[in-house]
Structure 1
Amino acid sequence: MGDHFQPQPPPAANDKPAVWDLVVQDLERDEAPLSTLKAPFPWSTRDLMALVRADARARDAQGRKRYGVPLQAGNGRDAPVDAYQEALDLAVYLRQALEEHASRFVPDAELYVREHLSGLYNIALHSVWRLRWLLFSRDGR
Structure 2
Amino acid sequence: MGFGTEQPQPRHNNEPYVKDALIADIEELCERRRVKYGTHLQPNNGRDALQDAYEELVDGALYLKQLLIERDAKATPQ
Same fold (TM over 0.5): yes
Q: Paired residue for 1:83, among 53, 58, 66?
A: 53
Q: Describe how 1:1-141 pairs up with structure 2 within 5 A.
A: 39-40=10-11, 42=13, 43-44=15-16, 47-101=17-71, 103=74
Aligned-partner Cα distance in 2 for 1:75–1:93: 28
1:93 Cα deviation from its structure 2 partner: 0.6
1:107-129 deviations in Å (ceiling 9; x for gaps): 8xxxxxxxxxxxxxxxxxxxxxx
1:49 Cα deviation from its structure 2 partner: 1.4
Aligned-partner Cα distance in 2 for 1:93–1:41: 28
Q: Judging changes above 3 Å, is the alpha-carbon distance between structure 1 residues 89 and 41 closer, same or farther for their aligned structure 2 residues?
A: farther
1:2-58 deviations in Å (ceiling 9; x for gaps): xxxxxxxxxxxxxxxxxxxxxxxxxxxxxxxxxxxx9536325xx321111111100
CA RMSD of aligned residues (A): 2.2
Aligned-partner Cα distance in 2 for 1:95–1:49: 23
Identity %: 35
Give the TM-score taking structure 1 as reference length. 0.41
Aligned-partner Cα distance in 2 for 1:41–1:98: 25
Query: Which letter maps to 1:52?
Result: L
- Structure 2 residue ranges without an equivalent (≥5): 1-8
Which has the larger helix fraction? 1
Alignment length (residue pairs) = 65
